[in-house]
Amino acid sequence: MNVTTRPAMLDVARIREDFPILRQSIRGKPLVFLDSAASAQKPRVVIDAMREAMETQYANVHRGLHWMSERTTDAYESARDAVAALLNARDRHEVVFTRNVTESLNLMAHSYGRGVLQPGQAVVISGMEHHSNIVPWQLLRDARGIELRVAPITDAGELDMEGFEALLADGKVGLVSMTHMSNVLGTYTPAERIVRIAHAYGAKVLFDGAQAVVHRRVDVQALDCDFYAFTGHKLYGPTGIGVLWGRRELLDAMPPFLGGGEMISSVSYERSTWAEVPHKFEAGTPPILEGIGLKAAIDYVQAIGYGAIAAHETSLIDHALARLGAIEGVHILGRAQDRGGVVSFALDRAHAHDVATLLDRQGIAVRAGHHCAEPLMRRFDLESTARASFAIYTTQGEIDCLADTLMRVREFFT
Amino acid sequence: MTDSFDDLRDLYQEVILDHGRRPRHARRLESFDATAKGDNPMCGDRIEVWVKYGPDGTIADTGFQARGCAISVASADLMAETVIGRSKADTHALFDAFREMARTGTCPHCDALAEPLERLEPLAGVHEYPSRVKCATLAWHALVAALDGGKEASSE
């Protein structure tokens, strides 16, 4: 697909036509959907791809010797090619399908954590992780005596690079598992620098790219990272399918995660042998339709082009920071230099849940709460914030609508 | 005050905004007989409740400290106002009635509790906001846990 010649301009009005749901009204008002970081809406091509697969060719994959199964296997496996191209992976076998990022990270904590890391080694995360990149490592720590270290972040919401490097200094760290973009602060972590430093101390690097891959082109070879996880449903694809990319030789050295059909080479009561990667990590009937939907989503995003997407979102972020930042009593969480399409904020004298309810009444959907990042909220002495997050279909007018309504919300609680 | 939020007046009545802003019973009791914490893990709201009994076993005083939305703070405050002077049994019955009202908007079998329920009625509007019902009931869960000798309550 030729995606390089498009100008860095997005025709948002046309893109919005691709998303049937955006035509809806909520409580008599046009839907202003500013919660895409939780889960993005789906373009028609994704909906159609999944429906068509069910209507014309659906069967189980990798096992049937009939036409339907072969067609479906081809469609499902072409999703793996699409992901490999999206991430610029060297080898399509490096793409493991999971249910979501949470499962990708649990796969890592289980297979890499128990099969490769040794007791006495350590895993480093950052102070701005989603719970899904905290809890699996706590479980590993408690089960295997593998230390969990947390790299500090600055008041601006950026990774404290000196603090990060200090955690690696004793050479015990086997793995750095870190967000590539914070779901609360919007901060992009400096991935290349993180990898360079970690590798210098002998640690491998896994990125949680749940947010990052939506907003920016990710090239795992250029990043030189070792593992990368993302999920379909935030990238305009369906729920129920996620990705773990890993270097082939590292995946080969890891024991399986879940056992069952699909992941074996042969089974006897005495012993079983495992399929080659990626199937070694894909026990059971996979998310077939979701894979087909994910491929349609990736094709859709690639056709628009990350250049245009990134430019659009930068303009949205700038606009949002300017508009929300100008409202007295609004406090934006995080002031990272390099940031993506989410803005978390607190409003004086109004709790985030009250803010969200009032916004909802005007048809504006935002997330409110701790965003599955309680330790991060405590770091900033907050228990919850409201969060507006942006997508390719978000308009400047929607951000204006949010800002105008927030001013009225402020009056309401004053 | 703006017109555009008029349809929210059923949820955010003036009495709720007032008690949410300036709760009268938001304080830790110096001496107390029972206490419990409440926690809504979904949204991060937290409350701690203290209870002091009188010689006849009724609730002589109660106070709370809460981190949460206007609904949850106002509900805790109205609860404290309502249960002071009541027996444990009355308070349990009142909790059941209030929970019914928060979920459905009314409590058809609650005639015996009409007088105290009236004080809590401004909170009946939450029944139209399913995700907010727990905000209104969290303080009650904590209070009842304290009365029952528990330490922790969840509004789940």
DSSP state of A111: I
A351 and B68 in contact by Cβ < 8 A? yes
A351 contact residues in B (CB cutoff 8 A): 68-70
In this prediction, residues A175-190 reach a mean pLDDT of 97
Question: Would you place residue A8 in the very low, low, confident or very high pLDDT band (cuts 50, 70, 90)?
Answer: low
A413 and B70 in contact by Cβ < 8 A? yes
Give pLDDT tens digits for B5-18: 776 777 888 899 99
Domain segments of chain B as ranges: 3-154
A225 is catalytic: no
Give pLDDT tens digits for A15-25: 999 999 999 88
Q: Which of the following is catalytic: A125, A213, A372, A401? A: A372
pLDDT reading at B139 higher than 90: yes
Write down the pTM of the prediction. Answer: 0.92
Domain segments of chain A as ranges: 12-30+305-409, 48-302
Chain pair A-B, CB pairs under 8 angstroms = 55
Query: What are the two backbone dihedrals, phi and then psi, of residue A65, each rounded to the nearest 5 degrees?
Result: -105, 20
B43 and A353 in contact by Cβ < 8 A? yes
In this prediction, residues B102-122 reach a mean pLDDT of 85
Tokens 């056709």 found at: A303
A307 touches chain B (CB under 8 A): no
In this prediction, residues A126-134 reach a mean pLDDT of 97
A413 and B17 in contact by Cβ < 8 A? yes
Give pLDDT tens digits for A279-335: 999 999 999 999 999 999 999 999 999 999 999 999 999 999 999 999 999 999 999
Contact assessment for residue A110 and residue A118, using Cβ atoms and an 8 Å cutoff: no
CATH of domain B3-154: 3.90.1010.10
SS3 A185: coil
- Among A351, A381, A407, pick the best mutation site for testing chain B contact (most B Cβ within 10 A): A351
How far apart, in whole angstroms, are the C-alpha atoms of residue A85 and residue A93? 12
pLDDT reading at A59 higher than 50: yes
Tokens 């949010």 found at: A402
Question: Which pairs with CB-CB distance under 8 Å and at least 24 residues apart come from B109-118?
Answer: B116/B82, B116/B86
Percent of chain A residues topping a pLDDT of 90 = 86
pLDDT reading at A5 higher than 70: no
Contact assessment for residue A175 and residue A206, using Cβ atoms and an 8 Å cutoff: yes
B71 contact residues in A (CB cutoff 8 A): 353-354
Lowest mean pLDDT among A150-159, A256-265, B80-89: A256-265
Lowest mean pLDDT among A31-45, A311-325, B114-128: B114-128
Question: Would you place residue A391 in the very low, low, confident or very high pLDDT band (cuts 50, 70, 90)?
Answer: very high
A412 and B2 in contact by Cβ < 8 A? yes
How far apart, in whole angstroms, are the C-alpha atoms of residue A266 and residue A376? 46
pLDDT reported for residue A212 = 97
In A139-155, which positions are buried (b, 16+ CB within 10 angstroms) versus exposed (e)? ebbeeeebbbbbbbbee
Average pLDDT, chain A: 94
> What 3 state SS string does A371-408 have?
CCCHHHHHHCCCCCEEEEECCCCCCHHHHHHHHHHHHH
A412 touches chain B (CB under 8 A): yes
Percent of chain A residues topping a pLDDT of 70 = 98
B43 and A362 in contact by Cβ < 8 A? no
> What 3 state SS string does B93-108 have?
HHHHHHHHHHHHCCCC
Contact assessment for residue A293 and residue A232, using Cβ atoms and an 8 Å cutoff: yes
A353 touches chain B (CB under 8 A): yes
Give pLDDT tens digits for A203-225: 999 999 999 999 999 999 999 99
Q: Using CA atoms in the order A122, A125, A130, A133, what is the torsion angle rounded to 10 degrees? A: -30
pLDDT reported for residue A65 = 81
Residue of A nearest to B18 (CA): A413
A383 and B8 in contact by Cβ < 8 A? no
B18 contact residues in A (CB cutoff 8 A): none
Q: In what order do the strands lie in the sheet with A367-369?
A: A330-333, A342-347, A385-389, A367-369
**CA distance from start to end of chain B:** 33
Give pLDDT tens digits for B27-70: 999 999 999 999 987 777 899 999 999 999 999 999 999 988 99
How far apart, in whole angstroms, are the C-alpha atoms of residue B34 and residue A227? 51
**Architecture of the CATH domain A48-302:** 3-Layer(aba) Sandwich (3.40)
The complex scores an ipTM of 0.85
A377 touches chain B (CB under 8 A): yes
pLDDT reported for residue A295 = 98
Lowest mean pLDDT among A25-39, A238-252, A262-276, B107-121: B107-121
In this prediction, residues A137-165 reach a mean pLDDT of 97
* Measured CA distances, A39 to A263, A312, A365, A367, B15 (Å): 29, 19, 12, 11, 36
pLDDT reading at A6 higher than 50: no
pLDDT reported for residue A259 = 92
The C-alpha of B127 sits at a distance from chain A's nearest C-alpha, in angstroms, of 13
In this complex, the residue of B2, B4, B69 whose CB is nearest that of residue A353 is: B69
Question: Would you place residue B155 in the very low, low, confident or very high pLDDT band (cuts 50, 70, 90)?
Answer: low
Fold annotation for A12-30+305-409: Aspartate Aminotransferase, domain 1 (3.90.1150)
Percent of chain B residues topping a pLDDT of 90 = 62
In this complex, the residue of B7, B11, B69 whose CB is nearest that of residue A351 is: B69
